[in-house]
Structure 1
Amino acid sequence: MKKYNIKTLVFDLGGVYFTKGTILAIEKIIDMYEIKNKNRHLLRTFFRDGDKNEGNLVRLGLITMDEFEEKLISKFNIADGNHIRNLWFGSYIPNYKMEALINELGKKYRLVVFSGNIRERIEFLEKRYNFTEKFDDFVYSFDYQKNKNDIEFYRELLNHIDCDPSEAILIDDERKSVIYGQSVGLNSIIYFYTDHLINELKKYEIQIDL
């Protein structure tokens, strides 16, 4: 039986620590601004974190959230865009039992955030949930102009785990991110829900008392 000596746990934010807020926010925006059927696919693409989509550019820190909103308002002819930020950022809430799990894990392990995210959203969520004090280090897309579809972003992560990759676990809700993590030597777990995660962590001999 393989023995593990895990020292560091790496957590995604949206979809792991927090709910998948973007998916919910898009539906709210469609409803509030009565986005027509023919434009709904374009709206989802606009928010997507790949290629040269505005959603990717804002996560890379190449445009500000103000610029993102201006482009969204213009492209979809939105009359009053004052609600966009609150609709989007406010759709992220901590997943069930996640805060308690992080508090418990933080007593024994190094905890690192690894996230394709937006500077202004981190500030919003920090003000609301005060979550950053629970973690030891942060690797954000907007700080490195790299996102999770870039293997170099994962190599940057290795500079923050303070251990051998075999002694760390990447926890993400996207299978492609898990595969990238494994390719640089990290152990990886796909997040579905918190109790499932706890069971998966125990397979790595992670001590959890919840």
Structure 2
Amino acid sequence: MIRTIIFDLGGVFIDWNPQYLYRKIFSNEEEMTYFLENICTPDWNEEQDGGRTIQEATDYLLAKHPEHADNIRVYYERWSEMLGGVIAGTVAIFKELKEKNKYNFYALTNWSAETYPIAQEKYDFLGWFDGVVVSGTEKDRKPFASFYQTLLNRYQVNPSEAIFIDDNQRNVHAAESLGIKSIPFTSPEALRQELNELNIL
């Protein structure tokens, strides 16, 4: 029996994309793509998710790419402009599930400890969870098993009684390797269908 539903946040509930900011800065799409693939890269961003401070991250890139100093600095100076808003269909599903009063809800998110509070202030539904485990706070992140284990241990969750929902296949596989049934998120509509088929929604 499923008792616990664990959600990822970015890409499932919250539309976050650095391109939303950098399209305002670069007039050329190719230059923007080069910058985000080679300077402020996803791997660099994941280090902040794992606990590196924004100051350390910025200083590291400024030393490595001084010619891009202004564009590096705005990554966090204007970080909130990367937030595209909520994925309303997922929030609606969450609300329906909450109203059933049958499950415990947790979020397991790769997120900088310094930027997560910005999202907390912006999105009320983040207060609906019974607990949120933020990678930057724990200095650990998906897909490492230890990060999932932190949530399982903290909230006494039995993996066989939980479902995990994430838009990153790598993170889904990691959860499944711990015995947590997982749903790869592609859209609210597909998620609703999956949850209906499992008699959860």
Question: How far, CA to CA, are the matches of 2:38 and 2:121 in structure 1?
Answer: 28
Is 1:7 aligned to 2:3, yes or no? yes
Q: Report how far residue 203 of structure 1 moved.
A: 2.4
Pairwise CA distance, 1:82:
5.0
Task: Say whether the 8 Å CA contact 1:58–1:68 is kept in structure 2.
Answer: yes
Q: Does 1:57 align with 2:47?
A: yes
Deviation string 1:132-186 (CA, Å, 9 cap, x unpaired) is 2110011111122111132221222322453321110000001111111000010
CA distance in 2, matches of 1:46, 1:82: 13
- 1:85-127 CA-to-partner distances (Å, cap 9, x unmatched) read 4355542421132222212212321110001101232111111
Structure 1 residues 150, 163: CA separation in 2 closer, same or farther (over 3 Å shift)? closer
Cα distance in structure 2, aligned partners of 1:92 and 1:69: 23
Partners of 2:48 and 2:112 within 8 A in 1: yes
- Please state which structure has a larger fraction of its residues in helix: 2
Cα 1:108–1:68 shift into 2, 3 Å? same
39 and 26 in structure 1: CA distance in 2 versus 1, 3 angstrom threshold = closer
Q: 1:103 to 1:116 in 2, by over 3 A?
A: same
The structure 1 residue matched to 2:12, chosen from 16, 35, 39, is: 16
The reply on whether 1:100 has 2:92 as its aligned counterpart is: yes
Question: Which AA in structure 1 matches 2:78?
Answer: N
Measured in 2, the distance between the counterparts of 1:35 and 1:146 equals 36
Look up the match of 1:78.
Answer: 70
Match of 1:32 among 22, 25, 34: 25
Letter aligned with residue 2 of structure 2? I
Amino acid of the structure 1 residue aligned with 2:112? I
User: Aligned-pair distance for 1:83?
Assistant: 7.2
Match of 2:37 among 44, 53, 56: 44
Find the aligned partners of 1:159 and 1:111 in 2 and give their Cα distance.
15
TM-score normalized by the length of structure 2: 0.82
RMSD: 2.8
Rounded to whole Å, the distance in 1 between the matches of 2:38 and 2:181 is 31
Structure 1 Cα separation of the partners of residues 61 and 180 of structure 2:
37
SS of the residue corresponding to residue 83 of structure 2 reads coil
- Consecutive unaligned residues of structure 2, counting only runs of 5 or more, are none
The Cα shift of 1:79 comes to 6.7
CA drift at 1:13 = 0.6
Contact 2:49 2:136 in 1 (8 A): yes
Where does 1:58-207 land on structure 2 (aligned, <5 Å)?
58-64=48-54, 66-69=55-58, 71=60, 75=65, 76-78=68-70, 81=73, 84-87=76-79, 90-106=82-98, 107-206=101-200
- Counting aligned pairs with the same residue, the percent is 24
